[in-house]
Chains A and B, each alone.
Chain A
Amino acid sequence: MKPLDWVVLFGWLTFLVSYGLWRGRKSGTVNDYLLAGRTMPWYAMGLSIMATQASAITFISTTGQSYVDGMRFVQFYFGLPVAMVILSATAVPIFHRAKVYTAYEYLENRFDAKTRALVSGIFLIQRGLAAGLALYAPAVVLSVILGWSDQTTTILMGSLVVLYTTTGGIKAITWADVQQMAVIFVALILALFMAIHLMPQQVSFLDAVTLAGAFGKLKAVDTNFDWNNRYNLWSGLIGGMFLALAYFGCDQSQVQRYLTGKSVAQSRLSLLFNAVAKIPMQFFILFIGAMVFVLFMFVKPPVIFHPVEMGRITQSTEFKPVEDRYNAAFEARKQAAQHYLDAKHRGETLPADLEALRSTQKAFDTARQDGAKLVDKVRGSSGFNDTNYIFLSFVTNYLPAGVVGLIIAVIFSAAMSAVSGEINSLATVTVIDVYKRHFRKSATDRHYLWASRIATVFWGVYAVIFAGRGGGFGALIEAVNMIGSLFYGGMLGVFVLAFFFPKVGANGAFVGVLAGEAAIFAANRFTSISFLWYNVIGCLVVLATGVLVSKIETAKYPR
Chain B
Amino acid sequence: MNQPDEPPPFLGTWKRVYTAVLIYVAVLISILYLFSAATAP
A residues adjacent to B (C-beta < 8 A) = 74, 78, 81-82, 84-85, 88-89, 93, 97, 209-210, 212-214, 216, 218-221, 223, 233, 263-265, 268-269, 272, 275-276, 279-280, 283, 349, 354
Provide the residues of chain A in CB contact with B5, threshold 8 Å: 93, 264-265
Provide the residues of chain A in CB contact with B24, threshold 8 Å: 81, 276
Compute how far the CA of A212 lies from the CA of B38 in the bound complex, rounded to whole angstroms. 12
Provide the residues of chain A in CB contact with B28, threshold 8 Å: 279-280
Q: Within B6-23, which residues are at the interface with A (CB < 8 Å)?
A: 6-9, 14, 17-18, 21-22
The smallest C-beta distance from B4 to any residue of chain A, in angstroms, reads 10
Say which residue of B7, B35, B38, B40 sits within 8 Å of A216 (CB atoms): B40
Provide the residues of chain B in CB contact with A97, threshold 8 Å: 2-3
Provide the residues of chain A in CB contact with B35, threshold 8 Å: 218, 220
**Contact status B40-A81, CB under 8 Å:** no
**Contact status A212-B36, CB under 8 Å:** no
The smallest C-beta distance from A242 to any residue of chain B, in angstroms, reads 16
**Contact status B39-A209, CB under 8 Å:** yes
The smallest C-beta distance from B12 to any residue of chain A, in angstroms, reads 13
Compute how far the CA of A379 lies from the CA of B26 in the bound complex, rounded to whole angstroms. 48
Question: Of all chain B residues, which has the CB nearest A353?
Answer: B41
The smallest C-beta distance from B39 to any residue of chain A, in angstroms, reads 3
Given contacts A219-B39, A283-B32, 15 further A-B contacts (CB under 8 A): A78-B29, A85-B18, A85-B21, A97-B3, A213-B39, A219-B36, A220-B35, A221-B29, A221-B32, A264-B3, A265-B6, A272-B21, A275-B25, A276-B21, A279-B32
**Contact status A85-B22, CB under 8 Å:** yes
Provide the residues of chain B in CB contact with A275, threshold 8 Å: 21, 25
**Contact status B22-A213, CB under 8 Å:** no
Compute how far the CA of A269 lies from the CA of B11 in the bound complex, rounded to whole angstroms. 13
Known: A265-B8, A272-B17, A272-B21. A220 touches B32 (CB 8 A): yes
Provide the residues of chain A in CB contact with B36, threshold 8 Å: 218-221
Of all A-B residue pairs in the complex, the 3 with the closest CB atoms, nearest first, are A213-B39, A265-B6, A218-B39
Provide the residues of chain B in CB contact with A74, threshold 8 Å: 32
Question: Of all chain B residues, which has the CB nearest A221?
Answer: B33
Compute how far the CA of A410 lies from the CA of B9 in the bound complex, rounded to whole angstroms. 32
Compute how far the CA of A89 lies from the CA of B21 in the bound complex, rounded to whole angstroms. 13
Compute how far the CA of A89 lies from the CA of B36 in the bound complex, rounded to whole angstroms. 33
Say which residue of B7, B18, B38 sits within 8 Å of A89 (CB atoms): B18
Compute how far the CA of A93 lies from the CA of B6 in the bound complex, rounded to whole angstroms. 11
**Contact status A81-B25, CB under 8 Å:** yes
The smallest C-beta distance from A360 to any residue of chain B, in angstroms, reads 15
The smallest C-beta distance from B38 to any residue of chain A, in angstroms, reads 8
Interface centre among B8, B24, B32, B38 (most CB of A within 10 A): B32
**Contact status B40-A264, CB under 8 Å:** no
Listed A/B pairs (6) with beta-carbon separation below 8 Å: A97-B2, A216-B40, A218-B35, A220-B33, A221-B29, A283-B32
Provide the residues of chain B in CB contact with A263, threshold 8 Å: 6
Compute how far the CA of A330 lies from the CA of B38 in the bound complex, rounded to whole angstroms. 27
Compute how far the CA of A110 lies from the CA of B4 in the bound complex, rounded to whole angstroms. 22
Provide the residues of chain B in CB contact with A212, threshold 8 Å: 39
The smallest C-beta distance from A351 to any residue of chain B, in angstroms, reads 9
**Contact status A354-B41, CB under 8 Å:** yes
The smallest C-beta distance from B1 to any residue of chain A, in angstroms, reads 9
Compute how far the CA of A97 lies from the CA of B1 in the bound complex, rounded to whole angstroms. 8
Known: A82-B22, A85-B18, A275-B21. A210 touches B8 (CB 8 A): no
Say which residue of A214, A219, A279 sits within 8 Å of B25 (CB atoms): A279
Question: Of all chain B residues, which has the CB nearest A89?
Answer: B18
**Contact status B6-A264, CB under 8 Å:** yes
Provide the residues of chain A in CB contact with B17, threshold 8 Å: 272
Compute how far the CA of A223 lies from the CA of B30 in the bound complex, rounded to whole angstroms. 11
The smallest C-beta distance from B35 to any residue of chain A, in angstroms, reads 6
Say which residue of B7, B8, B25 sits within 8 Å of A78 (CB atoms): B25
Compute how far the CA of A82 lies from the CA of B18 in the bound complex, rounded to whole angstroms. 9
Provide the residues of chain A in CB contact with B32, threshold 8 Å: 74, 220-221, 279, 283
Provide the residues of chain B in CB contact with A78, threshold 8 Å: 25, 29
Compute how far the CA of A159 lies from the CA of B13 in the bound complex, rounded to whole angstroms. 45
Known: A88-B14, A219-B36, A221-B29. A265 touches B7 (CB 8 A): yes
Compute how far the CA of A272 lies from the CA of B7 in the bound complex, rounded to whole angstroms. 14
Compute how far the CA of A218 lies from the CA of B35 in the bound complex, rounded to whole angstroms. 8
Compute how far the CA of A81 lies from the CA of B18 in the bound complex, rounded to whole angstroms. 10
The smallest C-beta distance from A546 to any residue of chain B, in angstroms, reads 25
Question: Of all chain B residues, which has the CB nearest A233?
Answer: B29
Compute how far the CA of A275 lies from the CA of B24 in the bound complex, rounded to whole angstroms. 10
Compute how far the CA of A218 lies from the CA of B41 in the bound complex, rounded to whole angstroms. 11
Compute how far the CA of A218 lies from the CA of B39 in the bound complex, rounded to whole angstroms. 7
**Contact status B29-A89, CB under 8 Å:** no
Compute how far the CA of A268 lies from the CA of B38 in the bound complex, rounded to whole angstroms. 36
Provide the residues of chain A in CB contact with B21, threshold 8 Å: 81, 84-85, 272, 275-276
